[in-house]
Amino acid sequence: MSITFYAAFEESKNCWSYLPHVETVNVSNSNGYALIRELQFTAEDSGIAPVCIDTFMSRCTAALRNRMRTPDLGIPLTESRGAGGATFFDCGRPDGYLQDRVMELLALARDGKAGGATHVYAA
């Protein structure tokens, strides 16, 4: 499962169209929710509702400024066994992963705004 962030505009009331020429940012569900928390948005079942693109860029910029000197700590690889004997792996993530994705989200929003997007949403 994953969450994808899109630059979009409202085509008609509550009908959002994303800009296909603006590259999306796709992350796993757990990393998507970590990004949503990092940007201080409220997560819905599958992402975030459309957010004003200027607000989104401001929160990305603030997150990068607040963490510039202390990158987020990575999550180590873990392996566990289920009750039925299956082996489960959590691939973790490297140090600074969230900052890298926030930079990609900021680029998405800037490119989207330049292309006519008014909002960013994640699904």
Distances in Å between the Cα of 106 and the Cα atoms of 2, 24, 79, 82, 94 are 19, 11, 33, 39, 20
Q: How far is the CA of 103 from the CAs of 9, 45, 73, 93, 96, in angstroms?
A: 21, 24, 17, 16, 11
Tokens of 43: 């997560």
Q: Provide the residue ranges of all domains of the chain, joining segments of one domain with +.
A: 2-122
- The pLDDT of residue 67 is 74
Higher pLDDT, 55 or 84: 55
pLDDT tens digits, one per residue of 15-48? 899 999 999 999 999 999 999 999 999 998 889 9
Query: Tens digits of per-residue pLDDT, 66-116?
Result: 876 788 888 888 888 888 889 888 778 999 999 999 999 999 999 999 999
19 three-state secondary structure: coil
Three-class SS state of 99 = helix
Q: Which residues pair with 23 in a beta bridge?
A: none
Q: What pLDDT is attached to residue 68?
A: 67
Lowest-confidence pick of 3-7, 32-36, 70-74, 118-122: 70-74
Please state the pTM of the whole predicted model: 0.87
The two beta strands, 87-90 and 78-81, are antiparallel
